[in-house]
Structure 1
């Protein structure tokens, strides 16, 4: 091939590559293999009575699940993770993650237990999980919570010292609701806003139907998305440790058992080097 033709061919290759849509599907890493709980630990807190009081105060502990709270079961031709909710606790990734996009699907079961019996079904996606087991209510590590609760999926809770700055408006004497144009407020155990911020809007499907959650984390910012709708953007994720505010930008992932039966599937994660601008500019 003549040099000029070779140069033209190479330029054409470069142009084709440059304008070929970039597929991110190859970069998803499954966190659930569809067979068992490989890659996850389990932790179960103390047995509770119907009023939520510890019966003995002794946790069931790490990778000890006598009641089979966490199992893999068949559902319409595929295996899914079942969390019974009978004990408070979580499955926890063995690995830590930072700067990622996590996606999963969940749906509610029919059972509820103890102080949650007959009430809104409750669970949670806890991210940036660090520190000791059972730091929050004897059942969960310190973390930021992407709330999973009937009617409230997408809310924020700071667990055992987790903190964040969130733009919000005051809804009542004790409640604040996310507003991207609101005042940037600190949500923590010690702030007057407390450690809970209510999401904006509602996107959860009816009970028993699958919902898709997307969690974006990059640097000290995170975004909660439910069924494609942004519920909240959190800034300055951090943790309180002995009176000091320290960064909280990476950690393990916990999926809660909190008194209600639910199912998870299609849990996957991929690294990101920035947050989607369209999700921040609402």
Structure 2
């Protein structure tokens, strides 16, 4: 193969898909420019961000370019082992630790979860926020932290739309006080958070490595701010 042809092929392989109207790629498909992670824990392979699984402790890969408020975040992800997640509207605690809203990325039985990462274990609101919403649930948290739950779909039927070890699509919609997660085009769960103390309207986007051999990949990460 001629060198020019090889160069063209490689450029196509490592270039993200064209972004949809109004969306901007926030991962360039080549390296971790704009992202900040614990050394040795994250790497780019074939246009994909991979958690290496080398860390025994939790850490996050943080997108540093902005702290968006209202937005739609889209990506593809592939779970193979362990526990991961996608953070939005979150606070940087330093040392690649992130506090705030997380969409779970794990085995099928755990998909659909919204929870509040790194909330103080002694917090009286931990019970309500550790499992903010599960698959098939629409949850409203009032100003005092009280949770009201509405079942909008059967949990097992919803979770069946997630394909373990295969590539899946994720869409996170942040609109005012409401956060919605979709997997493969299906609404998995919804949270509306009015909590006076703990709700957040803006913050960092990040990817989680839960440690202990986590093996997960992300690609075609795109953002549209509203």
TM-score, with length taken from structure 1: 0.58
The answer to whether residue 194 in structure 2 is matched with residue 224 in structure 1 is no
- Residue of 203, 208, 212 corresponding to 1:256: 208
Offset at 1:41? 0.9
2:35 alignment counterpart: 40
Residue 93 of structure 2 is matched in structure 1 by: 132
**Is structure 2 residue 173 aligned with structure 1 residue 210?**
no
Q: 2:69 maps to which residue?
A: 98
| Structure 1 position 90, deviation (Å) | 1.3
CA drift of 1:247 comes to 3.9
Q: Which has the larger radius of gyration?
A: 1
Report whether the alignment pairs 1:82 with 2:53: no
- Equivalent residue for 2:224, pick from 252, 267, 270: 270
2:22 maps to 1:27: yes
CA contact (8 A) 1:86 1:258 kept: no
User: Equivalent residues in 2 for 1:154-233 (5 A)?
Assistant: 154-161=112-119, 177=134, 184=140, 200=155, 201-202=158-159, 203-207=161-165, 209-233=166-190
Residue 11 of structure 2 aligns with which residue?
none
Shift of residue 140, structure 1, vs aligned partner: 2.6
Aligned to 1:69: 41
Listed one character per residue, the Cα deviations across residues 157-200 of structure 1 (whole Å, up to 9, x for unaligned) are 11234979x9xxxxxxx9975655x77457x9x9799xxxxx93
Q: 1:247 to 1:36 in 2, by over 3 A?
A: same
1:271 Cα offset (Å): 1.6
Displacement, 1:153? 2.1
CA RMSD for the aligned pairs?
A: 3.2
Structure 2 portions without partners, runs of 5+:
1-18, 149-153
Higher strand share goes to which structure?
A: 1
Tell me the alpha carbon deviations over residues 254-282 of structure 1, each in whole angstroms, 9 at most, x when there is no partner: 1011231111100000023xxxxxxxxxx
What CA distance in whole angstroms lies between the structure 2 residues aligned with 1:86 and 1:130? 24
CA distance in 2, matches of 1:176, 1:248: 16
Q: How many residues align?
A: 186
Structure 1 CA distance, aligned partners of 2:193 and 2:69?
A: 14
Give the distance between the partners of 1:26 and 1:179, measured in 2 at CA: 29
Whole-Å separation in 2 of the counterparts to 1:224 and 1:27: 19
Distance 1:192 1:236, change over 3 A: closer
**Is the CA contact 1:237–1:249 (under 8 Å) kept in the aligned structure 2?**
no
State the distance in 1 between where 2:27 and 2:67 align: 15
Unaligned runs of 5+ residues in structure 1 are 1-23, 44-64, 113-120, 167-173, 194-198, 239-243, 273-282
